[in-house]
Every structure is written in structure tokens, then in C-alpha cells.
Amino acid sequence: MSNMRRREFITLGAAVATWPLAARAQQGERMRRIGVLLAATADDPEFQPRMKAFQQGLALLGWIDGRNVQIDTRWAATNADDIRKHAVELAALAPDAILAGSGTTTVAPLLQATRTVPIVFVVVIDPVGAGFVSSLARPGGNATGFLMFEYGLSGKWLEVLKQIAPGVKRVAIVRDATIASGIGQFGAIQSAAPSLGMEAIPVNVREVGEIERDIAAVSRSSSGGVVVTGSPEANRHRDLIITVAARHRLPAVYP
């Protein structure tokens, strides 16, 4: 995990610890409770250091798991039904706050499950456009957190691809069309493609067979390339996507 992402999770730990929890003088009154919802598996090598960084951020403020705060973590992988189920479970526990640790995929079901428990999110793409907050300056409601990037940045990925491989014209866009951020990222890429002389070809990131088949189809052209948009599903299949793009020697840009 990059130092930037690690710092983000340490900062996130501090944010969760300071927003809904009582002042340090009140810590002895009762065990505080924080829920954590992640669209990943517990053995994911990327999320293990993130969770350590999160706990480190809490510890810096005096909140130690099992001593004065209880952290209830739900590893929901990327199945939508499982994520919704775990979101409802965490909300029912009535914790002092909930960490939505996997962007849009976890924020949306948590907001459906509760409008009263404070939710702190991380790596969310365009939270205003997704309807999670009213504005960046004044979030309102019961959710706040960290912006990953706005959709407009997605179009820049095509520009980067054009710079590293000027001859690319047909681009496989690996995206998750079942979440708002996946639709928004693809829309920004589609808008940017004509001005760069490129064609954006959607590839469903939820189907392993489709990933392999559609990237292979693009590779049959001497002007093929790949852009991967940000999503938990893309993260889950990252090894496969990288391997397939490398096998077909396609220039690729990753979020």
C-alpha cells in the first residue's frame, strides 16, 4: 500500500475517533463501539495494512481496540447482497460511528440502513454526485469523509494512455456498471474519447470470462489499449486484469 493511502487511513482513524466519540475524560464511562464495513476479504493483502493503519490512527488518540473501544468489522467481499446484509447488521448494533472502508460500494448500503449513525467514508468518488453529501463544504446528513477524485479525472486517464501509446484508438474500459461511480467514470471517459480519436469499449469487471474475452478482442487490433476504472471489483480482479493486459502486450492505465 502506498504511503499516501496509509496516511489516509491513519487520518481516517483520527476522524472516526474524534467525530462521534465522547471526550477523553468520558472514556471510562462505557466501552465505545465502531463498525467497519469493507468490500474485501479478510485475507486481502491490500486491506490488511489499511486496517492496521486505521487502528494506529485510533491508538494515537488513545482508543485501543478491546480496552476502551470495540471495533466490529464486517468483511463482505464484493457481493451486493452480502454488503447490504452486513450494513444492516452494523447499523442495528447502534455503534458510535461506522467506517465505510470501500468507497461507494459500502457507503450507499450504509446510508440505506441508517440515517442517524455517523458514517465516515474513504476513497469515495464524487460523493456529491453520488448523493452521499449535500456539498463538499457542508456535507449535512450523517455522512462525511474523504474524496478520492471527481469523475472528470477519469477522462485524463485516456490522455495519459494517448501520451504513452499515441497509436491507441480502441480502448477497453474495465468498469462496474452496477455502482454510481462506475457509471460516472465511464461517462467521463466516453465524453473525452472522441476528441482524442479513441473509441471506449465497456468491459464488465464483474465477469471474469468477460474480462479475459473482451480484453483479448481489443488486442486483436494493433491500436488497442486498456483503462481500468476504480472499484472494489476491479481491485478484487486486479491480478487477472494486469496479467491479461500484459499477456496481450496492451498499454494500460490503472486508477
Q: What are the average pLDDT values for consecutive 10-residue runs of the chain, which has 255 residues?
A: 54 56 52 96 90 95 94 92 96 97 93 97 88 90 90 92 96 93 93 96 93 95 94 92 96 93
Write down the pLDDT at residue 31. Answer: 92
Indicate if 159 and 132 belong to the same structural domain. Answer: no
Which among 92, 126, 148 is the end of a domain?
Answer: 148
What is the SS3 assignment for 119? strand
Indicate if 103 and 58 belong to the same structural domain. Answer: yes
> How big, in percent rounded to 5, are the helix, strand and coil portions of the chain?
45, 20, 35
Contact 211, 192 (CB under 8 A): no
> From edge to edge, which strands make up the β-sheet containing 119-125?
69-75, 32-38, 97-100, 119-125, 143-149
Kind and range of the H or E run holding 36? strand 32-38
Write down the pLDDT at residue 34. Answer: 98
Find the CATH number of the domain harbouring 234: 3.40.50.2300
The 10 Å Cβ neighbour count of residue 244 is 23
Indicate if 230 and 191 belong to the same structural domain. Answer: yes
Write down the pLDDT at residue 20. Answer: 52
In sequence order, what E strands does 89-210 have? 97-100, 119-125, 143-149, 170-175, 199-204
Range of the domain at 8: 3-148
What's the CA gap between 101 and 121, in Å, rounded?
6
The structural domain count of the chain equals 2
Beta strand pairing status for 32-38 and 170-175?
A: unpaired
Q: What is the DSSP letter of 150?
A: -
Grid cell listed for 203: 468491459
Write down the pLDDT at residue 16. Answer: 60
Kind and range of the H or E run holding 241? helix 238-247
Indicate if 129 and 236 belong to the same structural domain. Answer: no
Beta bridge partners of 33: 70
Write down the pLDDT at residue 129. Answer: 82
Indicate if 118 and 138 belong to the same structural domain. Answer: yes
Indicate if 48 and 135 belong to the same structural domain. Answer: yes
Indicate if 19 and 79 belong to the same structural domain. Answer: yes
Contact 120, 15 (CB under 8 A): yes
What is the SS3 assignment for 243? helix
Write down the pLDDT at residue 255. Answer: 83
Write down the pLDDT at residue 1. Answer: 46
Write down the pLDDT at residue 27. Answer: 45
